[in-house]
Each structure stands twice: as C-alpha cells, then as structure tokens.
C-alpha cells in the first residue's frame, strides 16, 4: 500500500514538472506503459497471498484512475499553453503599415507603339514584324535605293558585310510583306532600326512603325485622310495641334511627303514619311502596278513620344535612368 502511495506521489511530482506534451508522454510511459511501474504492480499481484489480492487490485485500479486523471488535467493545461504560444508567435499586427510592392512601368516607347498599333488595327491593319539583320535587297535594292544612293555609304549603315546590315529603316518589311501576300492587304510593322549617328536628336538605335496598304484604286487622298486622322487622334488630348504635309522625296514612293508637327516652341518637327508606292517597288516584288496601287508610311516612334511627353533629349529614352522612367507610371 505504501508503495502505491509513493508511486502516485512521485508520478504527481513528475507530471507537474514537465513542460511539454512530449515530456508528459515519456512520464506516462514510465508509469502506465506496458512495462510501466503501475502496470508491473498488476503483474506482481500473483505473488501475494490470494485473500489479499482483491483489495490490493482495487487500490491499484483506483491509483491508476487517479493517475490518468492527473495526466489528462496536465495534458489539457500543456495543450492550452502550447496553443497560446503558437498564437503569440504567429500573431499578425494588422495595424502595421503594408509593404509597398515596387512595380515597373511601361516604357514610353512601348506605350507609344501600343497607341499607334491601337489606332491602325481598328482600321483593319494587321501587325507584322521583320528581321533586324537585313540584306541589301530588302533594305535597299527592292526599295529602289540604287547602289550609289547616299543611304548606302557606311556613314549611316552598320554593315556586317556587303550584303548584310542592321536595318536602317522598317521599310524592308514592306518588301517582305509584298513578296508573301497578294493584294489587297494592309499591314503595320513596328520595330527597331539602326543608324550610325549619336547626338541630342539621334541615337544609333531607335524605333519606327512602317505601314503599307495595297489595293485597286488607292490614291493619295486616302493616304492623307488616314494619316491626318491618325495624328489628330494621337494628339487628341492636346488643346490644339498644328500639322503640315510637306512635299518630300523617298526613292520608294512617288509622290512622297512628310508630316511635321509644331512643338511648344513653335518649331516644326518631322514625325513621319509617306507616299504612294513607287512602280519600281511593285515591280521588284512582282505586283502588277497597272492594276494595283498603294501607299506606305514610316512613323518615327521616338519623335511622337517626345512630342507627346515633352521630352527634349532623345538619349534619355535609352539611358534607363529610373528617375526618368518612373515618370511614366
């Protein structure tokens, strides 16, 4: 009997001193496990004289019940403590200010291209692309730019060899389109172009957007109408914009014109070249120039962006200065 009393006293002390459920379980095994101290008492019953066994067995059972009760109490306590400590460690202070996520912004050149594309796709133009490394046929010959034309000297063009170069304009894409499609068609081709030039208004890489439309009975008035609408649509947010068509010369169009826009200082700035596709160009791609006519245009994307955003130095587009770029969020 004394032994049983000792067991319950020791067990109670052990149970109270543990601080985690894992430790508690170890104590449980020590007393109540298959080889535990209390379990052994049951096994040793057979060593007692038969008349005492019933009484002692009853006491052992009571001791066991009591011990289980103490265990369960401590278990509930420890569970509560562990829960509180997890709640504490995972606590979220919802009054803290949020962390700002730094997002990028669309580059003004990309944004300008998207706006131009938006206008022309509404008029049924499809978007195409052409290679930035171009051959002499597509960049020059087929566009009626004869071998002695000044645009061919390495002053402007980055040549890889006599036949291969970085394209100096997107007009080569006109040729590729006409080689691969039968009129009627209308396409625009945005892209990078390269020229050996660097100052406030020239960078060795810049962007153009080429347009070409070919069908029967296409005339200059339609060209003028579409480009007029385009310019007014593009600058529709501005109070008043002034635009002029100025006669010009391009080997691949006849007649040719350029559109200038007046900037805030009253200076005229050229934003695009255009004209009626030259019969020689049709000839070089095998389109019958007696049956079909067409117009083409090449828009200077950076020029448009400079006017739209009031930017004075072209180079700022490509220096990746975050202070500049962040203004376009």
**Left, alpha or beta for 217 (phi > 0: left; psi -120 to 50: alpha)?**
left
- The residue among 33 and 279 lying less far from ligand DAH, judged by its C-beta, is 279
For residues 306 and 265, what is the distance between their CA atoms, to the nearest angstrom?
A: 13
Closest by Cα among 259, 254, 301 to 279: 254
Contacting ligand DAH within 142-181 (CB under 6 A): 169, 171
Q: Which of 41, 210, 226, 307 binds ligand DAH (CB under 6 A)?
A: 210
213 binds ligand DAH (CB under 6 A): no
- C-beta of 41 vs 276, nearer to ligand DAH: 276
- Least distance in Å: CB of 253 to ligand DAH? 4
Indicate whether 294 belongs to the interface with ligand DAH (CB under 6 A): no
Q: Does residue 270 have a known ligand-binding role? A: no
Phi, psi torsion values for 262, nearest 5 degrees: -80, 125
The number of angstroms, rounded, from the C-alpha of 175 to the middle of its chain's C-alpha atoms is: 32
Query: Minimum distance from CB of 275 to ligand DAH (Å)?
Result: 5
Nearer to ligand DAH, 20 or 155 (CB): 155
With beta carbons less than 8 A apart as the criterion, state whether 235 and 229 touch.
Answer: no
Measured from the Cβ of residue 125, the count of other Cβ atoms closer than 10 Å reads: 19
| Smallest gap from residue 169 Cβ to ligand DAH (A) | 3
Residue 207 is a binding residue for ligand DAH (CB under 6 A): no
For ligand DAH, which stretch binds (CB under 6 A), given 175-183, 227-235, 293-301, 306-314? 293-301
Please, what is the minimum distance in Å from the beta carbon of residue 296 to ligand DAH? Answer: 3
Nearer to ligand DAH, 71 or 194 (CB): 194
The smaller minimum CB distance to ligand DAH, of residues 24 and 299, is found at 299
Sheet holding 253-262, edge to edge: 126-127, 185-194, 205-215, 293-300, 268-277, 253-262, 243-250
Binding mask of the shown chain, residues 263 to 282, with x at each position contacting ligand DAH by CB under 6 A:
----------xxx-------
253 near ligand DAH, rule: CB under 6 A: yes
297 is a contact residue toward ligand DAH (CB under 6 A)? yes
Among all chains, which residue has been given the structure tokens 């009975």? 217
Q: Give yes or no for residue 298 binding ligand DAH (CB under 6 A).
A: yes
Q: How far is CA 229 from CA 30, 123, 222, 243, 307, in A?
A: 92, 11, 11, 11, 17
Q: List alpha helices for the chain, DSSP H.
A: 2-17, 21-32, 37-44, 50-89, 108-122, 136-139, 172-180, 220-234, 279-284, 301-309, 322-325
Stretch that binds ligand DAH, among 38-46, 132-140, 182-190, 294-302 (CB under 6 A): 294-302
Binding residues: 254
Summarize as ranges the residues that interact with ligand DAH (CB under 6 A). Answer: 169, 171, 210, 250, 253, 273-275, 296-298
């Amino acid at each position: 009997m004394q032994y049983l009393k000792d067991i319950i006293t020791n067990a109670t002390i052990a149970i109270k001193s543990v601080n985690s459920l894992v430790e508690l379980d170890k104590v449980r095994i020590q007393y109540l496990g298959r080889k535990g101290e209390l379990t052994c008492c049951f096994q040793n019953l057979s060593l007692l004289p038969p008349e005492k066994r019933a009484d002692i067995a009853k006491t052992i059972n009571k001791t066991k019940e009591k011990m289980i009760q103490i265990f369960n109490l401590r278990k509930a306590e420890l569970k509560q403590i562990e829960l509180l400590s997890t709640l504490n460690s995972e606590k979220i202070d919802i009054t803290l200010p949020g962390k700002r996520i730094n997002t990028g912004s669309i580059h003004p050149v990309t944004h300008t291209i998207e706006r131009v594309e938006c206008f022309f796709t509404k008029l049924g133009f499809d978007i195409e692309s052409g290679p930035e490394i171009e051959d002499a046929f597509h960049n020059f010959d087929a566009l009626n730019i004869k071998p002695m034309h000044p645009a061919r000297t390495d002053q402007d063009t980055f040549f890889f060899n006599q036949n291969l170069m970085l394209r100096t304009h997107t007009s080569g894409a006109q040729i590729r389109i006409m080689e691969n499609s039968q009129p009627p068609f209308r396409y625009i081709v945005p892209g990078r172009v390269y020229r050996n030039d660097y100052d406030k208004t020239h960078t060795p890489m810049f962007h153009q957007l080429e347009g070409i439309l070919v069908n029967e009975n296409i005339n200059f008035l339609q060209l003028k109408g579409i480009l007029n609408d385009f310019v007014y649509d593009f600058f529709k947010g501005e109070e008043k914009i002034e635009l002029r068509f100025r006669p010009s010369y391009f080997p691949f169009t006849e007649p040719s014109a350029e559109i200038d826009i007046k900037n805030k200082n009253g200076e005229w700035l050229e934003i695009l070249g255009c004209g009626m596709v030259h019969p020689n160009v049709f000839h070089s791609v095998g389109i019958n120039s007696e049956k079909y006519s067409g117009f083409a245009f090449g828009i200077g994307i950076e020029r448009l962006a400079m006017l739209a955003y009031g930017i004075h130095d072209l180079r700022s587009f490509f220096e990746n200065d975050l202070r500049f770029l962040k203004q376009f969020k």
